[in-house]
Amino acid sequence: MKPTILRDRATTPDGEPLTLHERDGEFTIRVGGVELMSSRQHHSEERLAELACGGLRSRSRATVLIGGLGMGFTLRAALGHVGPDAVIVVVELMPAVIRWNQSSDFGLGADALADRRVELIAGDVADVIRRSRGRFDAVILDVDNGAQGLSLAANDRLYTVAGLTAAKAALRPGGCLAVWSAGDDPAFAERLRRAGFGVTVERARAHAGGGGWTTLFLGRVG
């Protein structure tokens, strides 16, 4: 078995180590030693984008917000479900994650970022949501391992009723808020309902061949 190699490291705004690891061509990103994502398991992220962007391929100038660049899998999948005149705004807080994706050394999301439909913002997705009333057809949040701050403690505000109400205000009629979670969270589903969303919950495998189950929360605006 080949060893795991530390390819790069940075520090989050909370002071936690953010590290990129590689083993035999597979990459993982960890925060404080906890695995946040892996290039081996991305089926559920792709499914999240598919559900959030369903029906947008035929919509003129559909606009999608993705919170969290990750390794580019959610973005790449979303691009496949929107039309040629769509706009996908990707917001990533960690400069190191942007750098890793843009680097040809790692083969992560550089191709998706180069798509002319993509607008990349280095910043906090909560700030973009707050100033974007009625702008988006879909908002996809994949910045933590669930409905609580992991990559950044301040992300907790995204998952409160107030944060979810702000996300609802950023959506157009018929829009969808999609949130990735490593596990089920009935309390979060209830907060979505309190914020005024119609809620559905779907389970998805971490990768297409099997693996553990993840939970996808979908809040729709009537």
What local confidence, expressed as pLDDT, does residue 195 receive? 97
What local confidence, expressed as pLDDT, does residue 145 receive? 61
Could you tell me whether strands 34-38 and 136-141 are parallel, antiparallel, or unpaired per DSSP bridges? Answer: unpaired
The residues with which 204 forms a beta bridge, in sequence order, are 214
Model pTM?
0.93
What residue spans define the domains of the chain?
41-220
CATH class as words, domain 41-220: alpha beta
Tens-level pLDDT at each residue, the chain (222 residues): 689 999 999 999 889 999 999 999 999 999 988 888 889 888 999 999 999 999 999 999 999 999 999 999 999 999 999 999 999 999 999 999 999 999 988 989 999 999 999 999 999 999 999 999 999 999 999 886 666 545 455 678 899 999 999 999 999 999 999 999 988 999 999 999 999 999 999 999 877 666 688 999 999 998
The DSSP code sequence of 104-133 is TTTTSSHHHHTSTTEEEEES-HHHHHHT-T
Locus of tokens 């909560």? 126
What local confidence, expressed as pLDDT, does residue 37 receive? 86
What local confidence, expressed as pLDDT, does residue 149 receive? 47
**Vertex 31 angle, CA 39 and 157, to 5°:** 105
Alpha helices in the chain (DSSP H): 43-52, 73-79, 95-102, 110-113, 125-130, 161-170, 186-194
What local confidence, expressed as pLDDT, does residue 1 receive? 64
